Amino acid sequence: MSIDSIIAQAVAKAVKQLYGFDAAPGSIIPAPTRKEFEGNLTVMVFPFVKAARKSPEQTGAEIGQWLVDNEPAVDRFNVIKGFLNIVIEPAFWSTVLEHIAATPRYGIKEATPESPLVMVEYSSPNTNKPLHLGHLRNILLGWSISQILAACGNRVVKTNIVNDRGIHICKSMLAWQKWGEGVTPEKAGKKGDHLIGDFYVLFDKHFKAEVAQLMEQKQMTKEEAEAASPLMQEARAMLRRWEAKDPEVRGLWEMMNRWVYDGFDQTYDRMGVGFDKIYYESQTYLEGKEKVLEGLADGKMYRKEDGSVWADLTDQGLDHKLLLRSDGTSVYMTQDIGT
């Protein structure tokens, strides 16, 4: 029983014995004592003044003294006008803690088939690099919120949305093809997600060197050099082949993703966290493309001269958002719409 209920019932007994007044315990609602006064809980005594035929101060003092004499949870009291401020006996809190410690699953509300259904999504990594400290914060928050919601009686589904496709994934794949020399996590003695992350970094290193060379030799701007980069063009061609379900590219993608998933699972196991459902963006991007094309046909989206498809969100205080590249491939937003 909570301390609020204990005090409410004790006050009801007090006014019955002192004044013959029947007060329903549910009508007595102790409130936290204001910080400028001594006390833990405060009871308003005005409802009992008529039965007591005494001033609010006298009524409060009599009820307070009855509580000190008869309720072990009450240590002392003070009265401010018509408000009885009650100080809880310190030993009471020890008994509360002992009760909590001795009660299995204290405070846990079990879910039923009728309980609210809640989805919590967390972690949500990319398969082109390892989990990092940003993911760690996200994972711990998501897992903790899931446990709290479950303890409150909700049916909780813990989900993880994995970004397993796109140009960034192709960058790691292309780098492994060019400079990997057949290395595997076992041969390298590394977790799979760390190994693939190394190739993503390696791609970026070669790409930057290529852009710098084009800028110097052909007097290009940075944007022009990035667009003209043979390495980036190869990555985009690989993405087009992936979306066309090219067997060779898909086979490489599946192999490297398996390495990454094994690495992710090792980290999740060490942290003691898990998921009830994992969504893969490679399975949702097509739905996103369909929705974008529907929007294009309905006039909700528009196509630029280069063939790319955009959404005008300026009426929402945002900007113009790319949904499909000029070569028809998807971007993050396309996947999110499908998800």
Report the alpha-carbon distance of residue 279 to residue 291 in Å, rounded: 18
Contact 169/126 with Cβ under 8 angstroms? yes
**25-35 burial, b if ≥16 CB within 10 A, otherwise e?**
eeebebeebee
Strands 277-280 and 155-162, by their bridges, are parallel
- The whole-number pLDDT of residue 338 equals 86
- The whole-number pLDDT of residue 25 equals 67
- The whole-number pLDDT of residue 322 equals 96
Q: What is the CATH number of domain 3-93?
A: 3.30.1360.70
Task: State in words which class domain 108-282 has.
Answer: alpha beta
Contact 193/263 with Cβ under 8 angstroms? yes
Closest by CA position to 259, among listed 181, 199, 201: 199
Provide the 8-state DSSP code for 37.
Answer: S
Residue 133, C-beta contacts closer than 8 angstroms, at least 6 positions apart: none
One-letter-per-residue 3-state SS of 54-92: CCHHHHHHHHHHHHHHHCCCEEEEEEECCEEEEEECHHH
| Residue 158 β-bridge partners | 120
Residues making up the chain, counted from first to last: 339
Residue 143, C-beta contacts closer than 8 angstroms, at least 6 positions apart: 122, 158, 271, 273
Report the alpha-carbon distance of residue 194 to residue 181 in Å, rounded: 17
- The whole-number pLDDT of residue 268 equals 97
The token pair that represents 93 in the structure block = 């809190």
- The whole-number pLDDT of residue 330 equals 85
- The whole-number pLDDT of residue 136 equals 94
Per-residue pLDDT of the chain (339 residues; tens, 9 = 90+): 789 999 999 999 999 999 999 997 688 999 999 999 999 999 999 999 999 999 999 999 999 999 999 999 999 999 999 999 999 999 999 988 998 999 999 989 999 999 999 999 999 999 999 999 989 999 999 999 999 999 999 999 999 999 999 999 999 999 999 999 999 999 999 999 999 999 999 999 999 999 999 999 999 999 999 999 999 999 999 999 999 999 999 999 999 999 999 999 999 999 999 999 999 989 888 899 999 999 999 999 999 999 999 999 999 999 999 999 998 888 888 888 988
- The whole-number pLDDT of residue 332 equals 83
- In the chain, DSSP assigns E strands to 31-32, 41-44, 74-80, 83-88, 117-121, 155-162, 277-280, 302-303, 309-312, 320-324
Give domain limits for the chain.
3-93, 108-282, 284-339
Strands 320-324 and 41-44, by their bridges, are unpaired
Report the alpha-carbon distance of residue 336 to residue 334 in Å, rounded: 5
- The whole-number pLDDT of residue 294 equals 96
**236-258 burial, b if ≥16 CB within 10 A, otherwise e?**
bebbebbbeeeeebeebbeebbe
The token pair that represents 201 in the structure block = 């970094």
